[in-house]
Amino acid sequence: MTATRPAFPVEYLVARVLLVGGLLGLGLIVLGLGLYAAHGGFHQHVLLLSRPAGDAPPGVFTSLRQIGIGLRHRPIDPLALSALGLVLLMATPGAAVALAIPGFLAARDFRYATIAALVLTMLLVSLLLAGAIHS
């Protein structure tokens, strides 16, 4: 008996997610940096050596909430747009792994579904341990 190949293979889905996520992330980064340069951002001193310890320099986003505030601000903060692109770029592999699990299960490929679930678990645990998921 020959195994039938699914109409929409998992590899195609993962490749598309990685391609689109990578291009969107890079596009947002370039757009944000272009807007920053257009507004004269590279002529200002972003990093002041005399700032108090523990304060982040202006334009540095340390949480998703700060990025959201920068994006809701009018005019939009260009560095927040670049930070959103970085977040999208970093989240793309995790999204691809998360979408691969149901695809492998549908194809009845339990070995790869288990491996993908372990990889996704390791990614989530590393995010939690690094403190990347906070309010």
- The token pair that represents 103 in the structure block: 């695809």
| Number of folded domains that form the chain | 1
With respect to residue 53, please indicate whether it lies within any of the assigned structural domains: no
Sign of torsion over alpha carbons 92, 94, 97, 101:
negative
* Helix ranges (DSSP H) in the chain: 10-38, 64-72, 78-106, 110-130
- Domain with 70, as residue range(s), is 10-40+60-130
With respect to residue 49, please indicate whether it lies within any of the assigned structural domains: no
- Does the predicted model carry a pTM greater than 0.85? no
With respect to residue 50, please indicate whether it lies within any of the assigned structural domains: no
What band does 74 get if pLDDT is binned at 50, 70 and 90? confident
Radius of gyration of the chain (CA): 20
With respect to residue 46, please indicate whether it lies within any of the assigned structural domains: no
In the chain, pLDDT over 90 holds for what percent of residues? 43
What band does 62 get if pLDDT is binned at 50, 70 and 90? confident
What band does 10 get if pLDDT is binned at 50, 70 and 90? confident
